[in-house]
Amino acid sequence: MSDEGGSGHKLVDKIKSPFHNLKQSLEDSLDNSHHLRDAKIHLSHQKHKIGKFANLFNSEHRHDEEHEKRCDEKRKKTCESHRFESYFPEREGNLAKWYVDGRNYFWAVSEALERAQETIYIADWWLSPELFLRRPPYFNQEWRLDQVLKRRAEAGVKIYVIVYREVAAALTCNSEHTKHALQALCPEGSPGYGNIRIMRHPDHNVLENAADMTFYWAHHEKFIVIDYRLAFFGGLDLCFGRWDSHTHQLSDIHPEGVVHEIWPGQDFNNNRIMDFQDVKDWKQNELSKADNGRMPWHDVSMAIIGPAVYDIAEHFVLRWNFIKRDKYKRDERFDWLMLRGREGDDEDLVGVQRPSHPVGEYVLHPLHPLEEIVQLEPGQGTVKAQVVRSAADWSNGTLTDHSIQNAYSDIIRNAEHYVYIENQFFITATGENQSPIHNTIGAAIVEAVVRNAGRGKENFRVIIVIPAVPGFAGDLRTDAAMGTRAIMDYQYKSICRGPDSIFEKIRAQGVDPTKHIFVFNLRSYDRLAKTNAVKKMEADSGFSYQELQRAEAEEIMGEGIHGNIDVDGGRDKHMGGAGQQKKAEEQSDFAHDSQKLDYQEHAADVKRRFEASRNDGATDANSGAGAGDEQSDGKGGVITKGTADPDCKVAPSVAHHAMAGQGSLMDELWEDDPQEEVQNWVQEELYIHAKLLIVDDKHVVCGSSNLNDRSQLGTHDSELSVVLQDTRTLSSTMDGEPYEAAHYAATLRRYLWREHLGLLPPQHPDAEGDVNAQPPSIEPANNVLDQEDSWHFVEDPLNEDLWKMWTEQATVNTETFRHLFHPDPDDHVLTFADYDRFLPKESVERGHVFDQFIPPHDVRSKLDKVRGHLVWMPLEFLKDSSMAETGLQVNQWTESVYA
């Protein structure tokens, strides 16, 4: 009676469940019926979806189950065993290459993407599918980002993309268009169908993810992994506004033909004048190139081959699986990614889950064993690299990781000679009294300065290069600029204002901070080539130059203006009507399209009529341009140049005169009234977007992380950076003494300093044949231009002659811009009343010459003294006024957003 298999127990079971047999029969039928089983799975999914609302009351819902606790403990022990408490170890044997500014970087990316064979991972804050990776765009249409990805997908490459899903009320990254555009590339039935998958995160659907919606923080990483062999990372997003060269020109008006323009459509922008505010009406969100200069863009990114690539790929796989779990768990379009080396009991480290009813496949990456990935040649990999990140529960599903902050603080604290920082922001704390600011980098700077001063290092320097205005406000006096003023206020309080600032903390210990800490901005000038020939053709044709530039944009990047309809039927409703949007099933290779949409045909007509008016009516404007204006494009069509003056000798830009070896600006040709030239001179801050730290010509940290709480705390924006130290040395000099510098750090620092001082030659937009615009898989090493005299001049970062040139040229540049343009911010503006007197009258457009009646010769002679782009940061700006009053925009609930 008591044995476990006895009949007594069977009788009890039947009594407990009188319908036992019926229940078992129904369950068997349910399992054997696909239809009923699908219904059962659907009900299970709905139950879990509803159950997610319970997470509103459980902030630890990703960390409270036993298997989650075990995973967290494994990660914690791994972090504790590594430098900077990073999840990733320091890896030896890597080959790294740096890219200064977008021209070189985007060209290298285009080369690497084109050679992809198996997989491409892209993680980005903003991705513009219509971004041209090579310039000029008209002659490089096959190198538009979406077309490169389309070719690789059709070749069988699996492409995985993660982009930040912005809060539309706060930002206009237009990730919805990114999704539709990429999903439209390979329609069903095409060779690449299903090979491009794009995720957006975080989720803002209250019905799906109420507990995990994030409105304040962003996915800010920018990196690419190709075939598990090569990775790119740094400050450059694959988006509009980022492409630039060392020349940093502002003008893009071309009398010789609009097809020569560098920045089409919204890629030409100046956020001080007009941010990307209204993506649904691109015509209202477009600057006229005839009247405005663009905002130039300085940035640094890198590429790496070697063991560290696996770590960057692992981070992507974790993020993919986390977002799959968080948002797409029941979406069959998105597979779970398994990672070789993180299988079995360790698959939880990359976020793989095994639900009872999984949706989507389990795909093992890389597609081939790690041993089959092409390795470096012996001796090629001399760089030690360690991936560090800012990550937390909301962004990664992990416990908080602030190893970027740990790396910055530790490396700066132990600096022996200098600290060099390029960053978009500079907001940091020296202690516990600067809430809402909490990152510790400021304390590390104070410690480094005081320690080195105490040991007699009188010329230990901290050199900081940041934007003049670290946001995109137009008029800083307006209420709309309150957020930007709050950021600037935090920066000044971090650097030099108040007892807890870096300056005052150092001064309190008997050290003069002004002898050790120096802060600079960058600024550029140019001349708009708005000649009389352009004005005449505007009048004769009935089209403004702005309409001509708009037509050019429509012709070569219309989808980025009017939107797409994708393979799932989704479309960019916010960008225009369905009739204007290219349908996926009708789309062919962009570079070989024989038929154009209506708006593209209209665009070509505008260009033809503009050209035809040049002939003073000799050619009917409706019949096309005159002889010689069009030429075959080799594809059965014609190139319409949009030319105002084919013989124009006025340069479309004169910004190259700030660089090396360019002769005198006084000799630059202007064929029209000299006083009209005065109206065409423009200036703008050179926006610094790099996220770079170089210390002692040995250590480099580069990635996506800004120097503020958003990027450094780990709980806010997600970030990825890499710490690099080259074991290959370079015989150099430091403070007059022989010094063995790390080759990678020293060559990058020398290159950057020569760019800022105007000691490098200008760059042509076309990077064909430039070693520095190739991925390391093709050209392993950078061309450091060590044959130039300037190479040795900037060798010793503490050399007094170099420092004299640096500071004196910054002073000349600052005073020249102040005298001619009155740019803001400025040290002469101490109050808002000063501000009103300082800025030009409303009749003078922002960025133009302050005194429109100044003799033309005076403008040229003054600008001829400008070299490079260095200017002093105005540390006195608005020091006698309250910069950010507490109110609706800035208060105890929102202040951490700006810090």
What pLDDT, in 10s, does the model give residues 708-762? 999 999 999 999 999 999 999 999 999 999 999 999 999 999 999 999 999 999 9
Q: Return the higher-pLDDT residue of 172 and 346.
A: 346
Tokens 């090629």 belong to residue: 380
In a domain, 26, yes or no: yes
Residues 289-306 pLDDT 10s: 999 999 999 999 999 999
Q: How confident is the model at residue 24 (pLDDT cuts 50, 70, 90)?
A: low
Residues 464 and 496 sit within 8 Å (Cβ to Cβ) = no
Q: Between the CA of residue 124 and those of 169, 178, 215, what are the distances in Å?
A: 20, 11, 17
Q: Give pLDDT, residue 643.
A: 73
Token output for 818: 């102040």
Q: Give pLDDT, residue 43.
A: 62
In a domain, 24, yes or no: yes
**Using the 8-state DSSP alphabet, how is residue 4 labeled?**
T
Backbone torsions φ then ψ of 768, nearest 5 degrees: -55, 125
In a domain, 144, yes or no: no
DSSP code string of 597-645 = -HHHHHHHHHHHHHHHGGGTTSS-GGG-PPTTSEEE-SSSSEEE---S-
Q: What is the average per-residue pLDDT within 535-548?
A: 87
Provide the mean pLDDT of the chain. Answer: 87
If one counts every other C-beta atom within 10 angstroms of the C-beta of residue 22, the result is: 10
Q: What is the average per-residue pLDDT within 632-659?
A: 74
Residues 525 and 658 sit within 8 Å (Cβ to Cβ) = yes
In a domain, 30, yes or no: yes
Q: Between the CA of residue 879 and those of 193, 200, 710, 891, what are the distances in Å?
A: 59, 42, 25, 21
Domain count, the chain: 1
First CA to last CA distance, the chain: 74
Token output for 320: 């993919």
Expressed as residue numbers, the domain containing 47 is 7-57
Percent of the chain as helix, strand, coil, to the nearest 5: 40, 15, 45
Local structure of 313: helix, strand or coil: helix
Q: What is the average per-residue pLDDT within 622-636?
A: 42
Distance of alpha carbon 22 from alpha carbon 228, whole angstroms: 54
Pairing mode, if any, of strands 401-402 and 719-726?
unpaired
What is the number of H-type helices and E-type strands within the chain? 26, 27
Question: Is the peptide bond prior to 646 cis by the omega test (within 30 degrees of 0)?
Answer: no
In a domain, 378, yes or no: no
462 forms beta bridges with 419, 517
Distance of alpha carbon 678 from alpha carbon 668, whole angstroms: 14
Token output for 31: 């399992």
DSSP code string of 285-306 = G---TTT-----EE-EEEEEES
Q: Return the higher-pLDDT residue of 205 and 564.
A: 564
Residues 672-695 pLDDT 10s: 999 999 999 999 999 999 999 999
Give the type of residue at 671. E
Work out whether the CA dihedral 183, 186, 189, 193 comes out positive or negative: negative
Q: Look at residue 257 and tell me whether its pLDDT is greater than 50.
A: yes
In a domain, 303, yes or no: no
Work out whether the CA dihedral 253, 259, 265, 270 comes out positive or negative: negative
Distance of alpha carbon 392 from alpha carbon 409, whole angstroms: 20
Q: Give pLDDT, residue 209.
A: 62
Q: Give pLDDT, residue 36.
A: 65
In a domain, 41, yes or no: yes
Distance of alpha carbon 707 from alpha carbon 689, whole angstroms: 11
Residues in the chain: 899
If one counts every other C-beta atom within 10 angstroms of the C-beta of residue 837, the result is: 10
Q: Look at residue 208 and tell me whether its pLDDT is greater than 80.
A: no
Q: Return the higher-pLDDT residue of 111 and 605.
A: 111
HSE at residue 74, side-chain half, CA atoms within 13 A, is 14
Q: Between the CA of residue 269 and those of 247, 256, 275, what are the distances in Å?
A: 17, 22, 8
Nearest of 436, 52, 69 to residue 213 by alpha carbon: 52
Angle at 389 between CA 899 and CA 164, to 5 degrees: 70
Q: What is the average per-residue pLDDT within 427-433?
A: 96
In a domain, 51, yes or no: yes
